Structures are given as structure tokens and as C-alpha cells.
Amino acid sequence: MSTYETVKGTFDLLPPQAERIVAVREAMAAPLRRAGYGYVETPTFEATALFKRGVGESTDIVTKEMFSWTTQGGDEVTLRPEGTASTLRAVLQANMPRAGLPIKVYYSGSYYRYEKPQKGRYRHFSQVGGEAIGAEDPALDVELIVLADDAFKDLGLRNYRILLNSLGDKECRPVYRAKLQEFLRGLDLDEETRARIEINPLRVLDDKRDSVQKQLVDAPLMIDNLCDTCRAYHEEVRTLLTEAGVAFVDDPKLVRGLDYYTRTTFEFVHDGLGSQSAIGGGGRYDGLSEELGGPSLPSVGWALGVDRTALALEAEGVELSGVEPLSVFAVPLGDEARRRLFDLVTTLRRTNIAADFAYGNKGIKAAMKAADRSGARYALVLGERDIAENVIQIKELATGEQESVPLADILTIIQEKLK
Ligand code: AMP
């Protein structure tokens, strides 16, 4: 025990479970790489103004959930609560659009939100995200949805649904927004929700309370109020998704928490996670670049939740092959044996055989216990007498079978046994 523990809403990832997280991240990134997305890494903190502007002043993230502070030099900075604003900032800063559009990038890392901690909702969590920047093409929206679906399927996940909606564009959304506000103002709502009608009325549709949902049955929906271009775009997204064999559910009340979304919006929802059911989500954000002072760059992207996906896999009982199991555990008895076996372990590892060593000058009993605990297939035991006789003991740990083999041939013998 130490005097210190992780702060509220955060947790450590420890072996062997932590390997699952590595496997999840890797599985999420692999389909993106196959589709030409390049890895980007941005700093974990940015100017606070970037997120205020890029995520939206009316979102819960910006009003309540950011870890922000003033540096010693007087700069206002914030731990990144999401990945899109930073990624777009980086792309614009490096003038990447010069090299042609769309720019396809992906990221993987830690994100921070001051949320009320519960299972699946943390203050420090991990996401993998993909962004296709600078093209307005329904096929690009569908590409990303398919890639996320592939990632989840490759991981072995089954019990999830894809919710799909369109949020319109700068032509039809304001007209709809006004219509929705008029409808909402006539309802019986608490003060906080009434305030939300004026700032971010679409978010009211997302209210989870029954008392609110009951009143929203006849609310006007964006999907019925799309302009012709947005409608055609959305129909094309639906057609391409269907042709790709990806099942989805139309959810006209899906709005998502971030201000910058336009047109296509989607969420991956898992059925075994209780209230924190979203394992990923994203959509189109055609106006964000201009919002950040850049040129017009219609874009689409998603972020998948690594921690929640690990929980979803656990809920479905899917085992991930995480750590590479050890093949060999070496047990030296005496100084000369230690030098020789250490050299052998190094050589084994260099030939791609997972091997470990009884460090710390343990006696034979403790060392063999460590060998058993290590999960290795074979223990190699070398003592003074073995060296004198030019042999080494090889013991299959599962069966306890042991044989004495020529020391000079041990490398080939092990390679042969592991074939
Ligand atoms: P968002 O940008 O909020 O849609 O987040 C994308 C995904 O990240 C969500 O679908 C979740 O799987 C995950 N996520 C978001 N916030 C948290 C959190 N506080 N703790 C754990 N995972 C989260």
C-alpha cells in the first residue's frame, strides 16, 4: 500500500487485463490503416479557446466537464476532452490540405472529462478516432461507419446496433431549430431544460427522463425537415450502407453531444452495458474548419471508446488474445549458469521466442515456483554439474516431464519443440 491512490474517476490499467486494452486499440486502428488513414498525435492539452470554439459553448463538455487551468505564463489551457478539434487544428496548422483532399487521419490516446464517474464513464478514458477531412461525399461517411463496424466485428463483438440520423445543414437546420423551439416552449419543462431550448434545443430531444420523453412524442423531427440536398445525401448514405451489408437503425432523435455535427450522425450502441451504452459515435462536421478560422473543409469522423468496448467484450464473454504466452523460463543455479542462461534467453528472444529468467538469485524451489507461475511451456534448468557434463535440463511444465539434452543443441531443440 502507498499513501497515494488514483484520483476520482481514473484507474490504472495493469497486466494482464491491460493487454486487452492494447488489443482493442490495435483492432480499432487496423481497419483505418487498411483504408489509407495516417496516424496523427497531438498534445494532450491545447488552448482552452480551441475547445470552446470547436466543441461548442453550449455543450455539457464545455460548460461543465473540461479540466482547464492557467499556466504559470498566463496561458489558458485545457486537457483535451475529445479528438476532433485538436486533429483539425493540427491539419490546418500544418497546411495539410495543400497536398490534396480528403486528408484521412486517425488517432489513439487519452481524453479527459470532468464527469460523474460510474461504470463506463470516467474522467480519464481512451479513444481511437478516425477523421476524413475536406470532402463532401456520402461514400466517405459510409467508409467510416463500415470501418468502425469492421473493427467491432474483428474484435468479436456482436450485440451492438448502429443508430443513424441526419442533422441537416446550414440551410435547413436553422429553420428546423426555430420550429423545434416553438414546439418545446409550449411544453411543461423545468427551468434548466427551458434554458436549453434557447441555447441548444436539439439536446432536449436527447433528454433521458420519461416525463420529458412523453411530451416529445409529437416533436418535429429534423429528418422530416431536411432540405432536398440533405435528404438526397442521407438517402445515398443509407443506400451505400445497405449495399455494404451493414445493418443500421434510423433514429430520428439521435443528436449527439457536440455542437459541430451536420448531416450524417451515428452512434454504436451496445446492449450489455446499461446506461453507458455508447461504444462509439461520430458524424459529419462540415462547418468546423471555418469555425476554427480555416477554409471550408466538409469532414466526417468518429471516435470509439476503448474502455467501454473492453467492457462490452467482457459482457459478451469474448476473450482477447492479449499477452504472448511465454515459451521458456530459465532457471540458473550458480554464477556460471546464470551467465550462460542469460545469454541463451537473449538469443531466444532475438529469434522471436518469448522467454523469461529467474532473476534475483533465487534458490531452486522459489525459481521453479516462479517458472510455474510464469505460464511458460518449458523450464530450462542449468546447474554446475550440468555445465561440467555439457547438458541442460528441459522440463515441460504442464506434465512435469523432464529430460537432459546436450547444452550445445538447446537452441535448435527448443525451436523444434515449439514448431
Ligand atoms: P463522444 O465523443 O462523447 O461521442 O465519445 C465517443 C465515445 O467515447 C463514446 O461512444 C464512448 O464510448 C467513449 N466515451 C466518451 N466519454 C467517455 C467517458 N467519460 N468514459 C469512458 N468512455 C467515454
Check pLDDT > 70 for residue 257: no
Name the pLDDT band for 319 (thresholds 50, 70, 90).
confident
pLDDT of residue 366: 96
Residue 232 falls inside a structural domain: yes
If you take atom 14 of ligand 1, which residue's CA is the nearest one?
Answer: 305
pLDDT of residue 258: 65
pLDDT of residue 99: 92
**371: Cβ contacts below 8 Å, ≥ 6 apart:** 329, 331, 358, 379, 397
- The CA 111 to ligand 1 mean position distance, Å, reads 9
- In DSSP terms, 299 is beta-bridged to 133
263 and 158 in a single domain? The answer is yes
Is 125 a pocket residue for ligand 1 (Cβ < 6 Å)?
Answer: yes
pLDDT of residue 322: 65
Question: Of 181, 178, 142, which is closest to residue 162 (Cα–Cα)?
Answer: 142
C-alpha cell at 195: 434554458
User: Strand 249-250 and strand 160-166: pairing?
Assistant: parallel
Residue 4 falls inside a structural domain: no
281 and 140 in a single domain? The answer is yes
**71: Cβ contacts below 8 Å, ≥ 6 apart:** 77
Is 113 a pocket residue for ligand 1 (Cβ < 6 Å)?
Answer: yes
Residue 35 falls inside a structural domain: yes
Q: What is the pLDDT of residues 75-107, one digit of tens each?
A: 999 999 999 999 999 999 999 999 999 999 999
If you take atom 16 of ligand 1, which residue's CA is the nearest one?
Answer: 121
Query: Which atom of ligand 1 is closest in space to residue 305's alpha carbon?
Result: 12
Residue 78 structural domain: 17-172+226-315
Residue 332 falls inside a structural domain: yes
Alpha-carbon distances of 341 from 368, 370, 408, rounded to whole Å: 15, 16, 12
C-alpha cell at 137: 461525399
Q: What is the mean pLDDT of residues 275-302?
A: 95
Name the pLDDT band for 327 (thresholds 50, 70, 90).
very high
Kindly report the backbone phi and psi dihedral angles of residue 5, in degrees, each rounded to the nearest multiple of 5, phi listed first: -135, 165
pLDDT of residue 271: 93
- The CA 279 to ligand 1 mean position distance, Å, reads 7
Check pLDDT > 80 for residue 334: yes
Q: According to the 3-state scheme, what is the secondary structure of 77-95?
A: EEECCCCHHHHHHHHHHCC
Residue at a domain's end among 218, 235, 255: 218
Check pLDDT > 90 for residue 228: yes
* Ligand 1 binding pocket mutation candidate from 121, 258, 260, 275 (most atoms within 8 A of CB): 121
Is 152 a pocket residue for ligand 1 (Cβ < 6 Å)?
Answer: no
- The CA 311 to ligand 1 mean position distance, Å, reads 13
- The CA 144 to ligand 1 mean position distance, Å, reads 17
Helix (H) or strand (E) holding 172: helix 172-185
112 and 61 in a single domain? The answer is yes
Check pLDDT > 70 for residue 259: no
Residue 308 falls inside a structural domain: yes
372 and 357 in a single domain? The answer is yes
Is 124 a pocket residue for ligand 1 (Cβ < 6 Å)?
Answer: no
Is 280 a pocket residue for ligand 1 (Cβ < 6 Å)?
Answer: yes
C-alpha cell at 359: 532473476
Task: Note the pTM of the prediction, 2 decimals.
Answer: 0.93
261 and 375 in a single domain? The answer is no
- Cis peptide, bond prior to residue 16, ω within 30 of zero: yes
113 and 51 in a single domain? The answer is yes
Which CATH number does the domain housing residue 389 bear?
Answer: 3.40.50.800
Is 307 a pocket residue for ligand 1 (Cβ < 6 Å)?
Answer: yes
Q: What is the pLDDT of residues 351-391, one digit of tens each?
A: 999 999 999 988 999 999 999 999 999 999 999 999 999 99
Q: How far apart are CA 272 and CA 276, in angstroms?
A: 10
Check pLDDT > 80 for residue 321: no
Query: Which atom of ligand 1 is closest in space to residue 282's alpha carbon?
Result: 4
